[in-house]
Amino acid sequence: MNTEVLTSSPAQAQQRDAALVQPQDAVAPKVNLMGMSRQELEQFFEAMGEKKFRATQVMKWIHQFFVTDFSLMSNISGKLREKLMARCEIRAPEVVHRHYSKDGTRKWVFRVGDGAGSLVETVLIPADDKTGARKTLCISSQVGCALDCSFCSTGKQGFQRDLTPAEIIGQLWMANYSYMEEVAIAERERTVTNVVMMGMGEPLLNYDAVLSSMQIMLDDFAYGMSKRRVTLSTSGVVPKIDQLAQDIDVALAISLHAPNDALRNELVPINKKYPLAELIAACQRYLAKDGHDSSRRHVTIEYVMLDGVNDQPEHAQQLLKLLKNLPSKINLIPFNPFPHAPYGRSSRNRIMAFQKTLSDAGFVCTIRQTRGDDIDAACGQLVGQVADRTRRAAQWKKKVEQQHVIMRSSS
Ligand code: SF4
């Protein structure tokens, strides 16, 4: 049984309130406060007959001091602490592995779900400068992914389920906490400076949970992150980009990877539903929403460099044309091959030439540095382990085996 309170929809609020008024017994599920936004916590405390301000107190304990034990919450009355201990819990997903790379990159593998469950991964990437002050956390939003982009190892595993808000924000909580386990509560400071919703899954297909998690990231009583430091990366779910523009002000990144529809249909199949013209128009509407005072001054374009596939001079020219009227920064990502990947990484020279064409035309164009190679934490290598309900993993394995047979018989 799912014990998380995920949203404040009427049905779920009713369930939550019922849990509060019913007599508690040994098997009663506890309400997990980890994934609740401020508004949800306020409703929660009001339903308990408590004052709304308890929400901000508890939020600070959870997300600023990384305290999960109600008995340590010293500004809360003993009676309320007892009530909370009996009925609630503060629980991040379980960490099953931690990997630390030589270059400072860290990776956590979380178990989500009941029993053996599935595994999802989160990566913390320190800036490659002397200060190391910027620490960017790449967060997963789903167990697996339904979109099957042809260059992506997560896509090869199929889709199992959406992560809950507690499982999403829990990744940020754990990344911060793991730096501070030995630090006294009063001296704790957050470590993660930037978040990108760019791990496993398509965040806009788990919209409510991702929105609620990002609200907690921006909330001054939780992580208080600047809206420019929280980025949502999407493969292009156009209607949800419009909805996002209405609901929250965060930075937007597009996993573009191809400059024309024919190639993008192949690499990013959701393009068949929302082709490039619609996607670019949605990005323009997103930027136009709040003018220049918001985080929406430009869109980040992610473009994975696949050898001989999308890295030719004509592709760079097509990209220039496509982005002509979209304020954008382009991030070229050297492909990180995974076992049996159907693509290779573009050569350094090819990537540099591609970058030069874009830079000469006035675009800010960077080449992403590959980090965490020794712990399989590089971009596109987040594989986790998914109980695949679509059987895509088995189909993929069969296809690869067939290819091997063909290669062996032709050699
Ligand atoms: S690239 Fe992103 S959207 Fe595409 S299959 Fe991988 S996780 Fe899903």
**Residue 317 in this model has a pLDDT that exceeds 70:** yes
Residue whose CB lies within 8 A of the most ligand 1 atoms, among 120, 121, 152, for a mutation test: 152
Give per-residue pLDDT as tens, 279-302. 999 999 999 986 545 567 899 999
Higher pLDDT, 348 or 397: 348
> Which of 111-120, 124-133, 161-170 has the highest mean predicted lDDT (pLDDT)?
161-170
**Residue 54 in this model has a pLDDT that exceeds 70:** yes
Catalytic residue among 121, 138, 167, 365: 121
How do the domains of the chain map onto residue ranges?
Answer: 28-91, 94-387
**Residue 20 in this model has a pLDDT that exceeds 50:** no
Please state, rounded to an integer, the average pLDDT across all residues of the chain: 85
**Domain 94-387 part of CATH 3.20.20.70:** yes
User: Is 121 a catalytic site residue?
Assistant: yes
Burial class (CB in 10 A: 0-12, 13-18, 19+), 133: exposed
CA of 140 to the centre of ligand 1 (A): 11
Give the mean pLDDT of 218-242: 97
**Sorting pLDDT into bands at 50, 70 and 90, what band is 409?**
low
Give per-residue pLDDT as tens, 139-183. 999 999 999 999 998 888 889 899 999 999 999 999 999 877 766
pLDDT recorded at residue 3: 33
% the chain with pLDDT above 90: 65
pLDDT recorded at residue 380: 53
Q: What is the CA radius of gyration of the chain?
A: 22
pLDDT recorded at residue 16: 44
Tell whether 252 is in a known binding site. Answer: no
Tell whether 149 is in a known binding site. Answer: yes
> Which of 334-348, 369-383, 397-411 has the highest mean predicted lDDT (pLDDT)?
334-348
**Sorting pLDDT into bands at 50, 70 and 90, what band is 14?**
very low
CA of 303 to the centre of ligand 1 (A): 13
Query: What fold does the segment set 28-91 form as a domain?
Result: DNA polymerase; domain 1 (1.10.150)
CA of 243 to the centre of ligand 1 (A): 20
